A and B are shown apart, each in its own frame.
Chain A
């Protein structure tokens, strides 16, 4: 057992790193859908904006570049989410399919604009100074930057959970989920709540894009791959649940990392195999939110 653990330690660790990244990405998608009932298929495109911002500000050269990229990405994410909120407002009473079409269209436009600005070449982004090296773990090298990702993911998970569960802002958001009409009857404009939640949700996407750049780089088509992963995480975890997004992300992180290392022959199927299994056992996800749709 100890031998097995040693041999697979790097894969397990890597599963946590990828899981952290997926959490930051998926939590935005999850709260936007679970709380505001907006299916945002442009989430992957917002992620890619973040990755390209990391390229623009040469995030690998200095911490200034990296932090600037993060800051600008956060701002862009907020604005994009706000715009999305305004765009989806007329569709609020229409079926989800209309929203999906709208946001899918937005994602195609964003991807095309990025391709016009940055061309179609593949970019790689080195990690910021000090994190570019690999550290020695149980006799194997492991990139230091990915270790940092684990920490960032856990801190963010804690912060989001605290805000939603323990603060008055969080209470307002939860109330909007439970009964929008009642919240607005109490004199609170629920369009403002939606505006804020979409802004913050999209912010998570763009910030995840910057954080992922040293791991995934930036290239056309990455948005679609990433959106698919985020959707799988959200479906496994259950919509609108912070805990669900975290658990779903960690499960998918391990499946993609440890699972593929243990059974490489099934690498192509293991992700969707897990998804199918969860859907059979728990059709509403592992931690379905209290939302009824």
Chain B
């Protein structure tokens, strides 16, 4: 099975499709599978990722190294039930040479074995579970996004050092939520902070946070740290304001709390919320300024971290493909391994460490600038250690 797949993977190099002739030096076609959610709750993330991917290709004449890029889009859907078969189809029917994408951590973990067997490199452009590049690590699975702990720990250390007083910790009750809570508490306590209390809310079925908000109030917390995304992020931030906690107990969060389209839905309730993330449109560097301008010109909206993750995945894959002599999984992963620092990313310089980004995490605060809500950068919290 593995042999057939590998042979298929090399097939496109031979130029038997699309009439492009083979040979690495003379160019050829690289087929890249873009695995993004096109249905279900993660669809907005998928749209942003596709836009980031396409923007990079447009800026680079649709080429990675000497290869023409042919993108095959596959619908990841909401869960591994749809995501794993989508990846399987890319590997068997579409015989892709590399894959980029995947929002859901369970999907990323679920395809690791197939990807390794097929020897097709996968650059995970969102999923943040630590295990993807640690316990379940494979030489073929790379990541251009973040790990859940990396982002939570940055806030934990920051709040602990600031001495904000006891903090209440909340997250949805599923793998990523638990990772964030663990990562935050460990870093926060190591920096001298005390936890006022914690709660894990039922994932996906909590629309009303009032009971938990009462718990925060009665715990005597001086701050709240949460991890929510999507619809839950909107409900939480709005209700935190409506029930009057916003003015008395400052809200901190993992950056996804106020990232992308949820920020517009939250409106004024989000102003003043501080979060940590590896990207903000307001990061002050040349690459980011150019990126934001190009992105706005192309899509008439501000880029999100999801777009940057796909943009950077295209960037590292492009760099790797400039180095290789032949289009094989082994050659591409070897080239990825030798990339060193990525110095032209909108998020600032970063590099692979254990196949996942070692990068700066930024402290951001939501501000209303002439009617547009933005995540302004308060402070660069520095490069975070990799688990």
On A, residues with C-beta under 8 Å from B are 7-8, 10-11, 14, 18, 115, 119-124, 126, 134, 140-143, 215-217, 219-222, 225, 228, 256-261, 264, 267-268
Query: Chain B residues with Cβ under 8 A from A143's Cβ?
Result: 242-243
A122 lies within 8 A of B265 (CB): yes
Asked if A217 and B234 sit within 8 Å, CB to CB, the answer is yes
Given contacts A222-B207, A228-B205, 10 further A-B contacts (CB under 8 A): A8-B214, A11-B214, A120-B41, A122-B230, A123-B265, A140-B214, A217-B231, A217-B238, A258-B211, A267-B199
Overall SS of chain B's interface: helix
A-B contact count (CB 8 A): 104
Q: Do B238 and A124 touch (CB < 8 A)?
A: yes
Nearest CB of B to A275, in Å = 14
Asked if B266 lies at the interface with its beta carbon under 8 angstroms from chain A, I say yes
B267 at the interface (CB under 8 A from A): yes
Q: Tell me whether A219 and B212 are in contact in the complex, defined as CB-CB below 8 angstroms, given that A120-B43, A141-B243 are known contacts.
A: no
From known contacts A141-B242, A258-B211, infer whether A122 and B234 are also in contact, taking CB-CB under 8 Å: yes
Are A215 and B231 in contact, with the CB atoms below 8 A? no
The residue that A264 contacts in the complex, of B39, B44, B215, B217, with Cβ under 8 A, is B215
- Residue among A18, A222, A267 with the most chain B CB within 10 A? A267
The reply to whether B231 and A222 form a contact with Cβ atoms under 8 Å apart is yes
5 contacts between A and B (CB under 8 A): A7-B214, A141-B243, A142-B243, A216-B207, A264-B211
Tell me whether A121 and B261 are in contact in the complex, defined as CB-CB below 8 angstroms, given that A216-B235, A222-B231 are known contacts. Answer: yes
Residue pair B207, A225 in contact (C-beta under 8 Å):
yes
A141 touches B238 (CB 8 A): no
Do B210 and A257 touch (CB < 8 A)?
yes
CB neighbours (8 Å) of B234 from chain A are 122, 124, 217, 219
Q: Which residues of B contact A215 (CB under 8 A)?
A: 207-208
B positions within 8 Å CB-CB of A: 39-41, 43-44, 173, 199-202, 204-208, 210-212, 214-215, 217-218, 230-231, 234-235, 238, 242-244, 261-262, 265-267
Given A10-B214, A18-B208, A225-B205, A140 and B173 contact (CB-CB distance below 8 Å): no
A116 to B246, CA, bound (A): 35
Can you name the residue of chain A whose Cβ is closest to the Cβ of B43? A120
CB B213 to nearest CB in A, in angstroms, measures 9
Q: Please tell me if the beta carbons of B212 and A217 are within 8 angstroms of each other in the complex.
A: no
